[in-house]
Structure 1
Amino acid sequence: MSKVRHSRYRGHRFPAEVIAYAVWLYFRFPLSLRMVEDLLAARGIVVSHETVRRWAEKFGQDFGKSLRRRTPQLGDKWHLDEVVVSINGKKHWLWRAVDQDGFVLDALVQSRRDKRAAERLLRKLIRKQARAPRVLITDKLRSYGAARTKMGMTFEHRQHKGLNNRAENSHQPIRRRERIMKRFKSARHLQRFVSVHDPIANLFHFPRHSLSAIDYRELRTVAMTVWQDVAGSREAA
């Protein structure tokens, strides 16, 4: 394996492509730290799960921010939903927004499930997307409508349990990871994880059922090239 040099990895014993590959495995797939350790060992790379954890913490946020900066403007039909997450015996709520194509717009961990929490999510979304939605789709939680009214927004708001499957389904990867990790350690831990997981998931999100195998592979190759550029693990031409 040829070694890629990047200032981000200065002082680390392993080359950039190894560190980036470990971080990608951890956030891209529902794997525990020990599973990533075993996958690396199968390729002759001996590294502890604790080292993988430190790499994920040190480099993950940087990778996530870089991917978000590269993300084009997403859809204007927003699906919002919230799911309860138990952390150290206390209820927290993971609020998540996705667009009509299933791309995650943002996620926010909060301790409440009320008007103030819904308003906080909406304000964050509008600030980051630089626009209000054309249509907002939610379940029947009244907090969404109350937040919309307080903010003086006039976008269309549809409330129906059956319309919001897209947002509800977006929670599934986090649920799988929650089981693998045997729960998140803190609200901050969960927030940090989703802030990296979601941009990576968006990068590799393709409507596979509507693509030919050739088109799918081409898109996957492009996504891998973007990831390597972001991670600084691609060899210079």
Structure 2
Amino acid sequence: MTPSPVSYKRHRFPPQIISHAVWLYFRFPFSLRLVEEMLLERGIVLSYETIRRWAMKFGLDYASRLKRKKPGRLDVWHLDEVVVSIHGEKRYLWRAVDQDGYILDEIVQVRRHAKAAQRLLKRLLHKQGCRPRRMVTDKLGSYAAARREIMPGVEHRSHKGLNNRAENSHVPLRKRERAMQGFRSWRGLQRFVDVFSALRNLFVPPQPSRHSAIAIHLHRLRAIAEWRSVTLPA
């Protein structure tokens, strides 16, 4: 079923400006103030707080309408977790990517125990609709315990050297974290990664080093076309 168009009722600025501001903020390592300045250069006068409200209101709506990559039974899931600190409190951002580096899911959790790993696997199965051919993790024992409970028939390879794909997937978010000088809340972090990763999945081609410049250019043009079809009224 095709979702209804995004509603921009009671907004003074046109949808083109709103969607462009949200795209700039989530797609590039820009702070809200830098996005404000970039729009000002184009003659669009608004505050960074307006951009923040747009990002909160429309970001998840946009992301939910973007097409997801179709899962397959031959997929390989790479799982890893990274520590994030907010106001001195540490939690873990659990992430799963497939063999092409496509981000399948992310979830902020307090612990690194088996229940946390089980929660990630259950979310993945719900979103993907099928089990992978193989699961690759580092040597954290929580993954093995969760796999035995949730996906006992799936092959599991546990080796730090095999999980570079998942570990490298943390790099873009780390760069963004530095540009933003950290996140402000855990709920805000979860909301941000849901949108940030959806846009990255759309605009960054799988294994870009193996593509020609023309292929990457065409991929980006198709991504821009999909973004506009999702965010702008027909």
**TM-score band w.r.t. shorter chain:** over 0.9
Aligned to 1:3: none
Aligned positions of 1:72-83 closer than 5 A: 72-74=69-71, 76-83=75-82
TM-score by length of 2: 0.93
Aligned to 2:92: 93
Within the alignment, does 1:193 sit opposite 2:192 as a pair?
yes
Aligned positions of 1:42-81 closer than 5 A: 42-67=41-66, 70-74=67-71, 76-81=75-80
How far 1:213 sits from its partner (Å)? 2.3
The code of the aligned residue for 1:92 comes to R
Aligned to 2:224: 224
TM-score by length of 1: 0.92
Q: Is there any run of 5+ residues in structure 1 with no aligned partner, and where?
A: 1-5
Residue-by-residue CA offset, 1:41-60 (whole Å, 9 max, x unaligned): 11111111000000000000
Shift of the 12–156 alpha-carbon distance from structure 1 to 2, 3 Å rule, reads same
Aligned to 2:103: 104
SS of 2:120's partner is helix
Residue-by-residue CA offset, 1:156-191 (whole Å, 9 max, x unaligned): 000111111110111111111111222111111110
Aligned positions of 1:54-203 closer than 5 A: 54-67=53-66, 70-74=67-71, 76-151=75-150, 153-203=152-202
Deviates more, 1:215-224 or 1:45-54: 215-224
Identity across the alignment (%) = 56
How far 1:13 sits from its partner (Å)? 1.2
Residue-by-residue CA offset, 1:26-81 (whole Å, 9 max, x unaligned): 000111100111111111111110000000000001001111xx213145100000
Aligned to 2:212: 212
SS of 1:71's partner is coil
Residue-by-residue CA offset, 1:122-171 (whole Å, 9 max, x unaligned): 01001110011110000000000011112252100001111111101111
The code of the aligned residue for 2:231 comes to A
On the 8 A contact 2:71/2:130 being kept in 1, the answer is no
On the 8 A contact 1:41/1:47 being kept in 2, the answer is yes
Aligned to 1:20: 19
Runs of 4+ in 1 over 3 A off after TM superposition: none
How far 1:210 sits from its partner (Å)? 2.2
The code of the aligned residue for 1:59 comes to F
The code of the aligned residue for 1:132 comes to R
SS of 1:56's partner is helix
The code of the aligned residue for 1:145 comes to A
CA distance in structure 1 between the aligned counterparts of 2:210 and 2:114, rounded to whole angstroms: 38
Aligned to 1:31: 30
On the 8 A contact 1:74/1:103 being kept in 2, the answer is no
How many residues align? The count is 227
